Structure 1
């Protein structure tokens, strides 16, 4: 059984897939830090409305980074520890939430691309993982979009 699993592991995951998973990790690390920073520093009344939800989302994003890193490691890749550039919008909560919304939009596109590649590579596990994560990312995008619409 061990030999079979090693054979499967060695053949799994193209270099393109591994690179895309590392992009996903870098993005998840970025937003988890970015959102937690927002949760900690926003103390004005307009920030209180979003504060608890942003903290919850930051924690979910860190869990996404962990799940993706575990998958990448299984596929023989080395997970990055470097986030994409963390964008801090300063005092303007609406500007920061607009940047958060755009980060979620980039993530949604990337995850759809990863799902498509996983289908093409017959990687059912990666496809299922990203379909599950994508659902949560769309909920995050909806939160930021709804908050900005109000």
Structure 2
């Protein structure tokens, strides 16, 4: 089934974004685990896997539309050296995704590709959930202070 070139371009750009997010979230999770924030690291790792599921769905759609998924390109990673920097970097990538997807969904509908639009709408819902989580973590950090927030994220050995 031949896909519209603009839709395929959008899907590949979103694929690039998902591949970038996979790497960024995964490295942040490994750093968090190394710092002793084990529970936080588990959540961040799960976010990486969410992005992987998005990449898989987009890849399947591109292939169905007779396109070629571009796995050779990723955007620059923004790696935070503190929890705050990591949350801010991850939030920035999520905002960029939403800014691209919302007009992209409209374009897919205009091109009569409701399946690609529905796929992207599902991704928007997930990304909005990620944004809510990250904004909440930054708000908690502001209210509690970074030291107290960080202390709440440290895993304690079983007693």
Q: Structure 1 length normalisation: TM-score?
A: 0.86
Question: Aligned pair 1:102/2:97, yes or no?
Answer: no
Question: Aligned pair 1:73/2:63, yes or no?
Answer: yes
Cα offset, 1:49, TM superposition: 5.1
Question: Aligned pair 1:83/2:74, yes or no?
Answer: yes
Deviations 1:36-94 (A, max 9, x none): 1111122335x44522211111001011011001111111211011221122122x110
Q: Which residue of 2 aligns with 1:58?
A: 48
Count of residues in correspondence between the two structures: 138
Provide the rounded CA distance (Å) in 1 between the counterparts of 2:103 and 2:60.
Answer: 19
Provide the rounded CA distance (Å) in 1 between the counterparts of 2:4 and 2:109.
Answer: 12
Structure 2 spans left out of the alignment, 5+ residues? 141-159
Provide the rounded CA distance (Å) in 2 between the counterparts of 1:25 and 1:78.
Answer: 11
Question: Aligned pair 1:117/2:75, yes or no?
Answer: no
Question: Which ranges of 4 or more aligned residues in structure 1 deviate by more than 3 Å?
Answer: none
Deviations 1:120-148 (A, max 9, x none): 01111111111111100100111111111
